[in-house]
Each structure stands twice: as structure tokens, then as C-alpha cells.
Amino acid sequence: MDILRVKGRTGEVLRFGLGARSWLYAQMEGAPEEFTWRPPEGGRSASDVVSHIAWVVSVVCTKIAEDYNIDTSGKDIGATANLVVALREEVETAYDILRKLCRDLRDEQLDETTKLPPPSQIKKGTVEQVLRIMTGYHTIHHAGQVALLIRRAKTAVLK
């Protein structure tokens, strides 16, 4: 789907989300062992964070799509031995759901209120607010975390 064909505010939401995804991809420069490294003080690995991003985007977009009877079904993720490729496929599959949602969502629906189930920190907001926060800002926030974890992993692996 050509993202430029999605017009109006819905197109802006889509392009914002895809821009966040591109920023995440730019931070995902590392070897597989750097993605699985965990900080000695505890916490998630870069792989865990990327999977979290994909999961959140998938869950939020699927929930909103179901509210409006929009079909977002797509391809299953194929098995691959390369962890970094698998993570990118996971993220791409999640953002495919956003693409399909925005393709069929009307601008006026962006102003309607939606509620997210627990454990979401954002309980309620307009469809536009929720999509911008969860597919855009949330991804950008965690992309920085991915970059930091990979940089720390490179240092730890060199020791």
C-alpha cells in the first residue's frame, strides 16, 4: 500500500507511526549477541524491548480495528535463524496492522473515544491520541532504549 494514498489526518497518523518505526530500525544496528545481552543490574534486553514495541503496536491497532470492524489480518511471521531479521519482521508485521487500519479508518473516527484494556497506562483517549502515542511516541521512546542497550552490549562484549 502506498502510504501517500492515505489522505487527511489518518494519513498523518500513519506517516507519524511509520516514521517512528524507521527511527527504531535506525537504532537496530547490532549483532545478535548484542540484542540478547542484559544489563548486569537487571532489566530487559534490546530484543525484549523490540518485541515489546511490536506487541504494543499490534495489540493497540488490532483493538481499534476490531472496534470499527476493520480487517487487519495478514501474513504470519516466518521462522528465521537470524534474530535481528526476526525482530524486524515482528515490527514490520505490527506496523502492517497500522497500515491496514489507517487505510480504512475515516478521519472523523479519529475524534471518537477509545478505551484500552489493562495493562495499558493510557486508559482512554481519542483514537488519534492513542494511535499517535502508542505507534509513534512509545516507539520513539523505546528506540532510544534499544540504542542504549546495544551500545552498552558492544562495550560489555568487548571486555
For every residue of 33-52, DSSP letters joined together read HHHH---TT----HHHHHHH
Question: What pLDDT, on a 0 to 100 scale, did the predictor assign at position 117?
Answer: 78
User: Residue 85: which of 134, 56, 53, 47 has the closest Cα?
Assistant: 47
Per-residue pLDDT reduced to its tens digit, 121-148: 777 999 999 999 999 999 999 999 999 9
Q: Tell me the average pLDDT of the chain.
A: 92
| Closest of 142, 158, 145, 147 to residue 28, by C-alpha | 147
Q: Residues of the chain with pLDDT > 70: what percent? A: 93
E strand spans, the chain: 113-115, 124-126
C-alpha cell at 7: 489522505
Mean pLDDT, range 54-74, rounded to an integer: 94
For residue 132, give the CATH number of its domain: 1.20.120.450
Interval 113-121 mean pLDDT: 83
Question: For residue 125, what are the domain limits?
Answer: 3-158
C-beta separation of 125 from 113 below 8 A? yes
The pLDDT score that the predictor gives to residue 80 is: 75
Q: How many distinct structural domains can be found in the chain?
A: 1
Residue 74: left if φ>0, alpha if ψ -120 to 50, beta else—which one? beta
